[in-house]
């Protein structure tokens, strides 16, 4: 029997005809959870519907999507109506959706929100608990799959930014049943080793299920308890995980995480180069100014004719000495004249001069006697004259 050889296109057309002729597949209602949702710029919606065991690719064209009463999101549980067909170009069967109804949040979405609320209440996401990323990283530990494209991009970017930074690749599972435990153990191991300045934990993009290990509580606990700052770099810019909320810094992609950690070192090198240039300029300027001052001093008379300067200052010194001598003599003359005047006034007011005119001073018991009322008959008195002293006794007071 001769074997018929078919082309790929012929085979796909045949399979498509079988699917399209099946009455059951022409109009089906399917309930499932949205995953890998993409809102294309054309207006078409691309997504997967999944349950606990399987998934199916779906497309909802713009004409149908524009009538939706809600915006689909990953994790939503929905009911869709459509038909099963084959996309010949890729040989892939898919569900062409005409209607979609929101059945509420899906299982993974509910689990995500519940854990997020629990950890937020425990302070896992609080800014005051975030550790600062070092400005100058010398060693970075990268926790990711050793075979993925993400780790190659991270190494390449790190080498371009600063080849001197040491990268420690810590291989771990990033997808599957044991991935969460593997990620947490790797974070704890790097902390025990304590040889890295920062930890970058992440992986490339994927579906919600692919990234789910970074939504496990065990990973959040390892990040929160890490003594070394942790940068979360999971998936694409639109992907958010519990690890992103817990980490000290969230990077939109693994590549941007490396740039965020290592870029400051390159900036510092540029700044040091600029400072070095400014320092050299300042040194050259100071040197130039000092040399100019030195040349000026060497050219001055103090260096060229030192004896001339000595003679000049000697003349100024003699002139100052003469001026000071004249000033002192004048001051002494004025002081002598003033003293003579004061002595004359003092002598004029002296009691002794008055007593020379025939006056005397009478003392009674050592005190000047000013009135006869202060003396008694037979009381001893002293009479002071200009040339001596007399002792006498009162015989009569002559009081009136």
The reported pLDDT for the residue numbered 251 is: 92
Count of C-beta atoms within a 10 Å radius of residue 101: 13
Query: Which CATH number is 31's domain given?
Result: 2.40.50.140
Task: Evaluate if residue 235 carries a pLDDT over 60.
Answer: yes
Residue 88 and residue 137 in one domain: no
Least confident of 139-143, 220-224, 328-332, 393-397: 393-397
Count of C-beta atoms within a 10 Å radius of residue 353: 12
The reported pLDDT for the residue numbered 83 is: 93
Among 105, 130, 158, give the residue marking a domain's end. 105
Say whether pTM exceeds 0.85. Answer: no
What distance, in Å, lies between the first and last C-alpha atoms of the chain? 188
The reported pLDDT for the residue numbered 120 is: 94
Residue 156 and residue 252 in one domain: yes
- Res. 1 pLDDT band, cuts 50 70 90: low
**Is 157 contained in some domain?**
yes
In which order are the strands placed within the sheet that holds 388-393?
367-368, 361-364, 380-385, 388-393
Structure tokens at 44: 């078409």
Residue 173 and residue 74 in one domain: no
Mean pLDDT across the stretch 231-254? 90
Number of domains within the chain: 3
**Domain span holding position 70:** 8-105
Residue 230 and residue 174 in one domain: yes
Could you please report the per-residue DSSP string of 369-387? ---GGG--TT-EEEEEETT
Q: What is the pLDDT of residues 62-114, one digit of tens each?
A: 999 998 988 898 888 899 999 999 988 888 999 999 999 888 667 777 788 88
**Is 260 contained in some domain?**
yes
Mean pLDDT across the stretch 22-35? 89
Among 105, 121, 136, give the residue marking a domain's end. 105
Task: Evaluate if residue 118 carries a pLDDT over 90.
Answer: yes
Q: What is the pLDDT of residues 277-308, one digit of tens each?
A: 888 888 888 888 888 888 887 777 666 776 66
Residue 101 and residue 148 in one domain: no
Task: Evaluate if residue 269 carries a pLDDT over 80.
Answer: no
The reported pLDDT for the residue numbered 288 is: 85
Residue 88 and residue 159 in one domain: no
* Helix (H/G/I), strand (E/B), else coil: 331: helix
Query: Which CATH number is 175's domain given?
Result: 3.40.50.10550
Residue 51 and residue 148 in one domain: no
Q: What is the pLDDT of residues 369-386, one digit of tens each?
A: 777 777 788 888 888 877
Residue 132 and residue 232 in one domain: yes
The beta-strand segments (E) located in the chain are 28-39, 45-50, 55-60, 76-87, 92-105, 139-144, 166-171, 198-203, 230-234, 249-250, 361-364, 367-368, 380-385, 388-393
Q: What is the pLDDT of residues 184-221, one digit of tens each?
A: 999 999 999 999 999 999 998 887 888 899 999 999 99
């Amino acid at each position: 029997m001769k074997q018929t050889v078919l082309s790929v296109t012929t085979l796909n057309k045949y399979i498509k005809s079988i699917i399209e002729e099946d009455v059951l597949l022409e109009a089906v209602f399917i309930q499932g959870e949205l995953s890998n949702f993409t809102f294309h710029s054309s207006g078409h919606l691309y997504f997967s519907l999944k349950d606990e065991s399987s998934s199916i690719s779906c497309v909802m064209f713009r004409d149908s999507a524009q009538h939706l009463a809600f915006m689909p999101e990953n994790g939503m549980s929905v009911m869709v109506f459509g038909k099963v067909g084959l996309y010949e170009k890729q040989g892939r069967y898919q569900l062409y959706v005409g209607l979609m109804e929101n059945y509420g949040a899906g299982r993974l979405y509910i689990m995500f929100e519940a854990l997020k609320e629990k950890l937020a209440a425990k302070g896992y996401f609080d800014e005051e608990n975030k550790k600062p990323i070092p400005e100058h990283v010398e060693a970075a530990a990268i926790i990711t799959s050793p075979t993925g494209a993400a780790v190659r991009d991270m190494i390449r970017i790190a080498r371009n930014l600063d080849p001197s930074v040491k990268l420690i690749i810590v291989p771990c599972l990033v997808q599957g049943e044991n991935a969460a435990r593997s990620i947490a153990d790797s974070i704890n191991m790097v902390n025990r080793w304590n040889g890295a300045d920062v930890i970058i934990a992440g992986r490339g993009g994927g579906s919600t299920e692919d990234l789910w290990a970074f939504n496990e509580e065990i990973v959040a606990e390892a990040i929160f308890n890490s003594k070394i700052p942790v940068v979360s770099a999971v998936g694409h810019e639109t992907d958010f995980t519990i690890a992103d909320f817990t980490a000290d810094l969230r990077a939109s992609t693994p590549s941007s995480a490396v740039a965020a950690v290592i870029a400051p070192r390159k900036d510092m090198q540029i700044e040091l180069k600029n400072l070095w240039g400014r320092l050299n300029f300042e040194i050259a300027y100071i040197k130039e100014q000092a040399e100019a001052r030195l040349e000026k001093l060497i050219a001055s008379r103090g260096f060229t004719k030192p004896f001339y300067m000595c003679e000049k200052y000697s003349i100024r010194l003699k002139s100052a000495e003469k001026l000071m001598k004249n000033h002192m003599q004048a001051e002494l003359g004025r002081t002598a004249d003033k003293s003579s005047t004061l002595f004359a006034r003092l002598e004029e007011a002296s009691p002794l001069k008055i007593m020379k005119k025939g006056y005397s001073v009478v003392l009674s018991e050592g005190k000047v006697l000013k009135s006869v009322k202060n003396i008694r008959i037979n009381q001893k008195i002293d009479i002071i004259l200009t040339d001596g002293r007399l002792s006498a006794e009162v015989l009569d007071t002559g009081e009136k």
